[in-house]
Structures are given as C-alpha cells and as structure tokens.
C-alpha cells in the first residue's frame, strides 16, 4: 500500500495546485450527500406529520382536510386508550430492561470467569441478535402454543402449571417480555463482557494484595469502572424497548383485548387500521417529543463522553 | 454566547416551549371556560418560561466565561 | 481480573450455569431448524416428538407453493441497494466528521437524534407521501411508491445512515493522521488522499459497517409490513403469508424462517469480533 502511495505521489505532485479548495469547503462537501438524504427523507416527513396533526384527516372520508388547530392534541391527551398504551409501554420497558440488565450483567460475570471455551460461548450468545424479531417472534408462537408448544411440555414434565401464554390476559405481556429478554439479554451480556475485559488489571491486583473482599472490590472498583458502559447499554435498550413493535405485532397483535397494546402498536392501529391519520400523527409528535427529551438528557452526555475519549486515545 | 451554546440553548428552548403546551392542554385547559382564552394565556406562559430559560442560560454562560478569564488572569500573575 | 485459585466444584457450577444459559438462548433457534425438517404429521402433536424421519417437504412447500425465493430476491435487492448508498454517503460524511470536525459535533448529534426517531412516527407520512408519489409518472418509473422497492430502499437508507455514520466515525478516528499528512505533503489532493490512503486503511471498518447495515435491512419488519403488500414484500413479511384460514403452517413457517435467518447467522458469526462495537454505535471497542 505504501509503495503505491509513493508512486502515485510522485506522479500527482504538480496536480495539487494552490488554488485547490480549502479544508473547510472540502469537509462540507463530503457531508452534503448524507445530510441531503437525512434532511429530505427524515425531516420532511416529520414536517408533514406535524402538518397533519393540526388538521382533520380521516382517510376513510377522503383526503387530508381542514385546519383544526390544537384539537387533535386535546383529543389524544384525553384519550384513555392512548394513556393505557403509554402505561403498557412503560410497564414493558421497565420490566424487560431491568431483567435484561440484571441477567445480562450476571451472565457477563459468569462468562468472564470461565477459563476455556469463551469464543464458542460468545458465538452462541450472538445468535439471537442476528435474527429478526418478526421471524423468530412468529416461531415463538409455536413454542408458546398451549397444546403443542415445547415450553408447556417442559413445564408439564416438571409438574408446573401450563399457562395459556398468549391468550391469558394476565400473562400475555409477560410472554412478550420473555421473548424480548431472550433476544436482548445476550446483547447486554456481550457489551458488559467487553467492558469487563477492557478493565485495567493494576487496581485489582493492588486490592487483592490489600486483602479486600470480593464484594468490596465489586462495589468500589468493578462497578464504578464499568458504569459508563453499563449506562450506555441501559440507554440503548430503553430506547429500543420504548419503540417496541415487531414482537407485539407477530406475537399478540396487541391482544388479548388491549393488554399488550404498546404505544407504537396503538399508533399503527389508529393510523392504518382506523385510518385516523390526524390522531396518529399527533401521537407520533408526542412520541417524537418524548424521545428528543430523553436523548437530550441521556444520550448526548453519554456519547460525548465516549467520543471525546476516543479522539483522545 | 458562542454558536455552539446558542444551538444547544435553542434546541432546549423549543423542547421547553412544546412541553409547556402539552402540559397545559392536558392538565390546565379543562379549568378554563373559554378555549381561545386558554390558548392565549398558554402561549404567554410558555413564552415567559422560555424567555426566562434563555436569560438564565445566557447569564450562566457569561458567568462561566468570566470565571475562566479570571482563572487565566490568576495563572498569568502567578507566572510573573 | 482476579485470578484466584479456582476449586473444581466452583468451576463445575460455573459451567453448569453457562450451559443452562446457552441452552435457553440457542434452543428456540435450534427447535426452529429442527421443526423445519419435520414431516407434517410430527409437528402438531402433543407431546412434541423428538425423533422423526427428516424430510425436505417443508422447504419444498415454502419454495414452490409459497414462492418464498421471491421474497428472498426482493430482500436481497432492497438491502444491497440501500447498503451501497449508506456505505458511500456515510463514509464520505464520517471521514469529514472524524478529520475536520464539521459542525463542531452538533451536526453529528443531530444525525444521531434522527436515529432516535421512532420509526413509527415517520411511517405515516411515508405511507401518505409514497402513496401520492407512486401515482405520478416519475414515481412509477423510479419504483418509488407503495409496494415498490424504491420506497423501502429509501426508508432503509434513511434509517441506517445515522448508525453507519457513527460507527464509521469511530473507525476513521482509529486511523493515524500522520499518513494523510505525509501524503498531503507529497502533493496529493484531498480527494486522492481519501481514495488512495484512507479508504484502504478504513476498508475493514467500512466492510463491517456495510454488513451491519445489510443485517438491519434484511431483518427490518415495520417499514416492509406497512409500505408493501405483495410485489415488494421482504422475507420478514413473507413469513406472515404462511397464515392460512386453517391456521399457521408451522412446518413451512419454520423452513422459511430458517432460510431467511441463516444468511444473517453466518454473517454475524463471521463478524463477531466487531459485534460489540457495532451494536454500541462504535462507542465500546470490544
């Protein structure tokens, strides 16, 4: 590579004239294509959604209609189905993310202490992450099947009750959570493991010489040093959980009743089943607002920290 | 205020304004008899809160800068 | 970390737990692959049957009767096209962010915050816009409209670009600047430096980003589900076509799911060294 570089360098010497553009213009020019794509295809649709959220738009009655001011916002804010979908989303997010974090971190410690076979273990852990929730989720319906499903077969073997996983309204949300935990716990574990392996050795050796207890080492050394990585995982998982759609769509379609109807699924149903584009767009704006506020408080400081460390190192 | 601080403050102010509107429509407006009256007051309140936020951010940036300048000045004196 | 002398029972317990965890993780995928080889009379039985004569009937049904390869072909075309666009525009932008720090970090954060957009929030405008555009002559010609591949290519490009830029920035930051400086001093133009010095060095990172983009596009469901009906449907939606009035044909579903999941499993295993880095937008260099 370095050879080809020097050859071409000698050939091109005269070409780079002093009139060549400045660093500034060059750098801006490089960003333009990507920015165009993002501005045109991400911001314009959002502007459109904002516009629709101020209008009457019942697609079953034809085109987008008249300007109605803030009426759609009033309707949605006082819609109990909307709030119950928010509540379902919060319940799901809180439970799934907590379970994934706790189990993931525990598994990371488990694997970190292993002496042989780490490579194989890691490869197997990655598998759920490669699959689409829409495809494997669909197959989980077969596993959950009360009559032919393998899960109830195993539960029956140990003599435990065999619930109707997706049909019982007290359990359905837990079934969706279990699927999410299956798919994403390995993600937490892998990143926590990477964090553990990147820890410097010296402080731990010193602590061992001092005869510090394992618990003390964990509390004063390991967790404080892992905190940035764990916080990043937490934020990424939370963002994804709030946006949950695929698993609900293939596992329960929001049912039974509306007990697993998350915000995204309710929005989809309002907009594309009931064709009330106005209410759906309004919810989309709410959703977007919540995500922007969250990203301001959680993601920005975090990623600044990581990216500044990267540019130093 | 530098460009970077301005950008950041602008972004936050927009979020703050919209947030006030949402909270107002959800919780406060039902107590108003007239909807148009409520909207007018809502915008005034949102504007006042946003303006207060900008003023506070500005004074904080100025204070930070003065502090930084004072530190630099102190260091310079030590050197001498 | 701490290398204490480990006793045998402790190690046995550790590996016992690891095996249980791995069992839980691998089992659903394994059972899916096993089911795909089951004859029809061994699928809907209680208790589940573990011993059976393997058959390819389900694959035959999925491929010939349900025309599943059609969905594979669609998905391949759509995800490869969008990956190419993402990698090219993303690399240019990421290089600029990593080296020239355009926009002082603010543009980079703006790009990231578009990644935070809930896809569902833009899907309604996409639906309405593509419906209109698809009716115009230009829309028909370019294949941009509901149930046409262009709509999905655009959607996937927009939604993968922020991720790709962030990951690529982290890879470009790893390349030492000295080589570029000396190449510039040798008289190469900036564009030539980028093409002949930086790109070869960044090639592994660009490849990794491309594969990630491909996987995400391949596995995407929401856009494919809402913006397509039949003609441009992708595998994730295609699997749903196995729902019939008589119920779900689990054998063919398992076969189709296996076909659609397998290529991505292979990709991911090949890339496992970069998995952690990719999944954290380049923030954690595992």
Helical (H) or strand (E) element with C252: helix C250-270
Across the interface, of A70, A77, A292, the residue whose CB is closest to B15 is A292
**Of B17 and C100, more confident:** B17
pLDDT score for A7:
35
How far is the C-alpha of A40 from the C-alpha of A43, rounded, in Å? 6
How far is the C-alpha of C122 from the C-alpha of C149, rounded, in Å? 18
Q: Which residues from chain A sit within 8 angstroms of residue B19, using beta carbons?
A: 289, 293
How far is the C-alpha of A230 from the C-alpha of A104, rounded, in Å? 10
How far is the C-alpha of B55 from the C-alpha of B59, rounded, in Å? 6
* Regions of chain A where pLDDT drops below 70: 1-21, 299-300, 302-313
Average pLDDT for C117-125: 83
Over 70: is that where the pLDDT of C232 sits? yes
Q: Which residues from chain B sit within 8 angstroms of residue C105, using beta carbons?
A: 4
pLDDT score for C77:
95
Cα→Cα distances C232→A30, A110, A256, Å: 32, 45, 31
**Of C245 and A267, more confident:** A267
Read off φ and ψ for residue A36, nearest 5 degrees. -60, -50
B29-57 pLDDT, tens digit per residue, is: 888 888 888 999 999 999 999 999 999 99
pLDDT score for B50:
94
Q: Which residues lie closer than 8 Å to B70 by C-beta, 6 or more apart?
A: none
Average pLDDT for C57-65: 88
How far is the C-alpha of A199 from the C-alpha of A226, rounded, in Å? 8
Q: What ipTM was predicted for this assembly?
A: 0.87
Q: Is C164 helix (H, G, I), strand (E, B) or coil?
A: helix
Closest of C138, C133, C154, C145 to residue C85, by C-alpha: C154
Over 70: is that where the pLDDT of C35 sits? yes
Q: Which residue in chain A is spatially nearest to C169 when comparing CA positions?
A: A307
Q: Cα C220 from chain centroid?
A: 7
Taking any CB pair shorter than 8 Å as contact, residues of chain B touching chain A are: 11-12, 15, 18-19, 21-22, 25-26, 29, 39
How far is the C-alpha of A85 from the C-alpha of A173, rounded, in Å? 12
DSSP code per residue over C13-31: HHHHHHHHHHHHHHHHHHH
pLDDT score for C80:
95
Across the interface, of C100, C122, C162, the residue whose CB is closest to A45 is C122
Residues 212-241 of C with CB under 8 A from B: none
pLDDT score for A100:
96
- Cα dihedral B40, B41, B45, B48 sign: positive
Burial C57-69 (b: 16+ CB within 10 A, else e): bbbebbbeebebe
pLDDT score for A199:
86
Q: Is A293 on the interface with C (CB under 8 A)?
A: no
Q: Which residues from chain C sit within 8 angstroms of residue B3, using beta carbons?
A: 104
CB–CB of B26 and A78 under 8 A?
Answer: yes
Across the interface, of C96, C220, C272, the residue whose CB is closest to A126 is C272
How far is the C-alpha of C25 from the C-alpha of A189, rounded, in Å? 12
C163-200 pLDDT, tens digit per residue, is: 899 899 989 988 888 888 888 888 888 888 888 888 89
Average pLDDT for C52-72: 88
Across the interface, of C28, C165, C260, the residue whose CB is closest to A182 is C28
A173-199 pLDDT, tens digit per residue, is: 999 999 999 999 999 999 999 889 888
Q: How far is B80 from chain A (nearest CA, A)?
A: 32
- Give chains near A: 3+ CB pairs under 8 A: B, C
- Cα dihedral A228, C171, A237, C17 sign: negative
């Amino acid at each position: 590579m370095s050879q080809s570089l020097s050859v071409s360098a000698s050939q091109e010497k005269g070409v780079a004239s002093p009139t060549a553009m400045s660093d500034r213009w060059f750098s801006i020019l490089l960003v333009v294509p990507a920015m165009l794509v993002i501005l045109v295809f991400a911001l314009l649709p959002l502007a459109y959604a904002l516009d629709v959220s101020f209008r009457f738009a019942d697609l079953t009655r034809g085109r987008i209609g008249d300007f109605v001011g803030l009426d759609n916002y009033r309707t949605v804010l006082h819609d109990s189905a909307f709030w119950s979908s928010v509540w379902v989303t919060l319940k799901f997010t809180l439970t799934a993310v907590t379970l994934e974090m706790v189990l993931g971190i525990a598994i990371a410690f488990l694997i970190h202490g292993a002496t042989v076979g780490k490579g194989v273990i890691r490869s197997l852990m990655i598998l759920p992450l490669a699959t689409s929730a829409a495809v494997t989720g669909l197959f989980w319906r077969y596993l959950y099947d009360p009559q032919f499903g393998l899960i109830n077969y195993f539960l029956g073997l140990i003599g435990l009750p065999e619930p109707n996983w997706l049909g019982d309204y007290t359990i359905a949300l837990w079934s969706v959570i279990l699927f999410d935990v299956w798919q994403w716990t390995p993600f937490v574990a892998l990143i926590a493991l990477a964090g553990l392996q990147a820890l410097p050795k010296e402080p731990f050796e010193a602590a061992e010489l001092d005869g510090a207890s394992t618990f003390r080492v964990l509390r004063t050394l390991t967790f404080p040093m892992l905190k940035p990585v764990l916080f990043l995982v937490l934020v990424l998982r939370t963002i994804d959980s709030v946006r949950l759609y695929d698993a609900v769509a293939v596992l329960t379609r929001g049912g039974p009743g509306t007990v697993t109807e998350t915000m995204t699924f309710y929005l989809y149903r309002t907009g594309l089943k009931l064709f009330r584009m106005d209410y759906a767009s309004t919810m989309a704006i709410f959703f977007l607002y919540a995500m922007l506020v969250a990203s301001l408080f959680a993601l920005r400081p975090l990623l600044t920290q990581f990216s500044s460390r990267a540019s130093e190192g | 205020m530098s460009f970077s601080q301005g950008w950041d403050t602008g972004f936050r102010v927009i979020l703050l304004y919209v947030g006030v509107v949402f909270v107002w429509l959800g919780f406060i407006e039902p107590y108003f008899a007239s909807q148009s009256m409520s909207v007018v007051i809502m915008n005034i309140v949102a504007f006042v809160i946003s303006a207060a936020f900008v003023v506070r951010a500005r004074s904080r940036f100025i204070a930070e800068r003065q502090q930084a300048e004072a530190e630099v000045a102190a260091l310079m004196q030590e050197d001498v | 970390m701490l290398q204490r002398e480990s006793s045998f029972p402790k190690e046995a317990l550790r590996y016992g737990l690891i095996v249980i965890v791995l069992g839980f993780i691998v089992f659903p995928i394994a059972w899916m692959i096993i089911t795909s080889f089951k004859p029809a009379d061994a699928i809907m039985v209680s208790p589940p049957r573990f011993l059976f004569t393997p058959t390819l009937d389900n694959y035959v049904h999925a491929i010939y009767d349900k025309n599943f390869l059609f969905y594979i072909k669609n998905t391949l075309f759509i995800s490869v096209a969008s990956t190419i666009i993402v990698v090219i525009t993303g690399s240019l932008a990421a290089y600029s962010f990593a080296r020239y720090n355009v926009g002082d970090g603010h543009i980079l954060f703006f790009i990231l915050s578009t990644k935070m957009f809930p896809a569902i929030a833009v899907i309604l405008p996409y639906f309405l816009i593509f419906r209109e555009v698809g009716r115009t002559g230009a829309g028909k010609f370019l294949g941009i409209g509901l149930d046409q591949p262009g709509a999905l290519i655009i959607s996937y490009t927009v939604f993968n670009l922020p991720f790709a830029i962030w990951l690529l920035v982290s890879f470009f930051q790893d390349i030492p600047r000295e080589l570029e400086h000396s190449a510039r001093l040798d008289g190469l133009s900036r564009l030539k430096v980028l093409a002949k010095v930086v790109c070869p060095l960044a090639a592994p990172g660009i490849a990794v980003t491309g594969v990630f983009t491909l996987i995400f596009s391949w596995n995407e469901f929401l856009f494919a589900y809402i913006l397509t009906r039949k003609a441009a449907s992708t595998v994730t939606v295609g699997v749903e076509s196995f729902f019939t009035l008589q119920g779900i044909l689990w054998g063919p579903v398992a076969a189709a799911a296996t076909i659609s999941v397998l290529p991505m499993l292979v990709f991911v295993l090949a890339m496992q060294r970069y998995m952690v880095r990719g999944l954290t937008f380049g923030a954690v260099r595992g």
